[in-house]
Amino acid sequence: MGSNPFDLSGRIAVVTGANTGIGQAIAVALAEAGADVACVGRTPAEETVARIREIGRRAEIVSADLSTIEPVARVVDETVAKLGRLDILVNNAGIIRRADAVDFTEADWDAVVDTNLKSVFFLCQAAGRHMIASGGGRIINIASMLTFQGGIRVPSYTASKSGIGGLTKLLANEWAKHGVTVNAIAPGYIATNNTAALQADAARNAAIVDRIPAGRWGDPADLGGAAVFLASDAAAYVQGHILAVDGGWLAR
């Protein structure tokens, strides 16, 4: 590693949900900083892999449906088999279900909490075991404004993302002594598939944009710098932090 503390050359990253949206942008940003990337997800991240290879870094597809914890150990093993090691884990894959709290179903509760929280914990555990054994690593969980706020009509999503905040701090407390940092990025309103329904609703869209000090939706690429920072040596002493990248939403 050179004198640039943000240089990720020689590091191997795993990014879940890397085929689109925020996960794709973070995978590409890590590669631009020098990392090789295992692109994990249920839809093959062919476009992301092609973009990373164009940058001159290695990229591999690791197929996994993270709606259950069944694939988590294999995700780590396959990454190590294909790319040699594992230094950085970005838990980005996530889903949202919208309905009034009085009507919310058990199925919509379980689907979101299993994907957004349970699978995240057990993938952290699988990667953490590897990182502890190999002398350190970086874990970055994708949180939300609803790690801090209540939201509306998204009870399982709010529960899962609030849980991500606590889990990030717990893992930071347990693993700091092993050289593993565990932090989170809380995106504001980012234009992706996840928020397509909000963007399409003219009234909600106007209310959201009006409340964002930056005056616009975030672009997935807006998350890249925060991810590179938290993955890098520059953030070696940053632990259990939830970094908002939100155009000022929380400051308002």
Measured in whole angstroms, how far is the alpha carbon of residue 174 from the centre of its chain?
A: 20
Enter the tokens of residue 167: 């889990």
Minimum distance from CB of 88 to ligand NAP (Å)?
16
CB 118 within 8 A of CB 44: no
Cβ-based nearer residue to ligand NAP, 119 or 181: 119
Nearest of 114, 122, 130 to residue 167 by alpha carbon: 122
> How many binding residues for ligand NAP (CB under 6 A)?
27
Minimum distance from CB of 179 to ligand NAP (Å)?
26
Catalytic residue among 19, 88, 157, 232: 157
Task: Say how far apart CA 234 and CA 88 lie, in whole Å.
Answer: 14
62: contact with ligand NAP by CB under 6 A: no
CB 100 within 8 A of CB 23: no
- Taking CB under 6 A as the criterion, the residue among 193, 210, 251, 252 binding ligand NAP is 193
Among the listed ranges 39-47, 82-90, 100-108, 237-245, the one in contact with ligand NAP (CB under 6 A) is 39-47
Q: Write out the DSSP string of 161-181.
A: HHHHHHHHHHHHHHHGGGTEE
- Taking CB under 6 A as the criterion, the residue among 128, 187, 224, 247 binding ligand NAP is 187
Cβ-based nearer residue to ligand NAP, 67 or 125: 67
Task: Say how far apart CA 172 and CA 174 lie, in whole Å.
Answer: 6
Interaction site with ligand NAP (CB under 6 A): 16-17, 19-23, 41-43, 65-67, 92-95, 115, 142, 144, 187, 189-190, 192-195
